[in-house]
Structures are given as C-alpha cells and as structure tokens.
Amino acid sequence: MVQTCLEDVMTRPPVVEFSAWEAARDELLVREKAHTREGDAIAAARRRLPMVEVDGSALVVGASGPVPFASLFEGRDELVVYQHMWWDGAPHQGQCEGCTHIPWHFPDASYLHARGVSFAVLTVGAWEEVEPFIAFMGYQQPWYSVRDVPAPIGGDMGYFACFLRDGDRVFLTYRTTGRGTEAVNGSLALLDMTPYGRGEKWEVVPDGWPEGRDACWFWRTDASGNPSWGPTSRPAPQWTRPGVTPEETLGRAGHCH
C-alpha cells in the first residue's frame, strides 16, 4: 500500500526535547482553539439561515419501491442526506471515487437518530443500477434514487443537504459541496494531523517536503495500492470488498470534487 519512507525524503520535522515540543504544541493550540470557536460561530450562523419549502410528496425509489420523500424522515423532524454522483452505465469501479469515499466513512447513524435526525443517501442513478452497487459496497445506510425528482432533492449531486419537517411540510435548511463535505471524512482529518498531510499540491509545507500531487491522488488505486486512474483502478474502499479483482474497464473517467 501507499507509504512514505523517511529515508526517501529530504526534510522531516526537527528533533527537540519534549519540553520544547510541548511549548511549540501549546503555541499552536491557541490557534486551534480559535479555529474551533470560529467553527462554532459559523454553525450558529448556519442555524439562522432561512429555509425553502420542497415537495415532500415527491416520489423517490428505494429498496421498497417508490416512496414519498417525506418518508425518509422516518418520523423524525430532521433529515440529513448525502447526494451521491452517478455515472449511468459505468461499472462499480467507474463510479465517483469522491462520492464513494464519503459514505464509506459514515456507516452508522445511531447518534443522529438519538438526536431526532435521520440520514439517507440520494443519487440520480437508476435504481436497477444503484441497488447492486450498494450491495457490492456493503453500505448499510438507506439509499434512494431521485432520478426524476427536481432540485434541490434531485438535480446536482455531490452535496450534503439538511431538511426540516413541520407536519406534512418539508423544508431545505442547508446545503454544502466541495470541501464542505469533508466534515464526515475522518481519513482526511487524520491525514491533516500527520507531518506529511494529504500529500497534495495545494498544501503549504516546509521546504524540502515531499512534492505534492494532484488533489485526491490516493482516492483511486490499482490492486497493489498504487494511486492510478488507469483502467484497472478502483475507488480505494472497493478493494476491501470480498473477491474484488482488477477489471480491464474503468468506465467513466475519474472525478474528484
């Protein structure tokens, strides 16, 4: 699998006594605490956003067939969905590695349920294509096809969206895409704590650090774990599925959002 060897790089963090390390760590902690508090302030502002009514009776297709969108609340007052991109006709390994990456990090919504929040994954893919993909990946979250449903329930994918229910009425309260979806991506958060980070070009690193690569370079690999967008590559989590072997067709070109 992908590894970084200290002997293969020009520079590494300086070695100091623990007391000096602790002083430097405490200095950084001041900035980290400020960052946390600013995040709290942004969340407070997010809670004050207006909302827009959507059609809760719109039919979406899941494992039990067509159901009204409002049923995804499962009797709760709030709903969070991830809107998964989909390439029609592509094999499993040809689906979006970014969208594959995200729900893999969120297998269980128990803590959301305890707060009265339901969770589901939506996609514009046709259900007959989506269903075997869900089984192959082993996803436990409820999935629904919103192929014929207009935005913001359907439409563009690659978003987290939050909805609020008031009786039979349903409202969109928040939506985020791009790096806003990193909130549930524990792998990226942990990589950000490490000395070499994500290894991407946009990151600011000390002189002599390993040269960064294009964003999301490690999200799709071959069977040996080498980053690749070649015809035998897959989104990285797919290699954990039983019996997975290289395929000769990637399907759609890789997409990173």
- As separate numbers, helices (DSSP H) first and strands (DSSP E) second, the chain gives 5, 10
Q: What percent of the chain has pLDDT over 70?
A: 93
Confidence of residue 10 (pLDDT cuts 50, 70, 90): low
Quote the CA–CA distance of 158 and 83 in Å, as a whole number. Answer: 5
pLDDT in tens, 20-49: 999 999 999 999 999 999 999 999 999 999
Quote the CA–CA distance of 188 and 1 in Å, as a whole number. Answer: 17
* Per-residue pLDDT at 39: 97
Quote the CA–CA distance of 137 and 152 in Å, as a whole number. Answer: 26
Across 101-105, 108-112, 247-251, least confident range: 247-251
Quote the CA–CA distance of 79 and 162 in Å, as a whole number. Answer: 6
Residue 36 tokens read as: 């946390």
Domains and CATH numbers, the chain: 52-183 (3.40.30.10)
- DSSP structure class, residue 29: H
pLDDT in tens, 148-170: 999 999 999 999 999 999 999 99
Confidence of residue 121 (pLDDT cuts 50, 70, 90): very high
CA 214, 102, 111, 153 torsion-angle sign? positive
pLDDT at 215 exceeding the cut of 50: yes
Maximal C-alpha separation, the chain: 64
Give the C-alpha distances (Å, rounded to integers) separating 27 from 23, 31, 40, 156, 195.
6, 7, 21, 42, 17
Residue 167 tokens read as: 């009786």
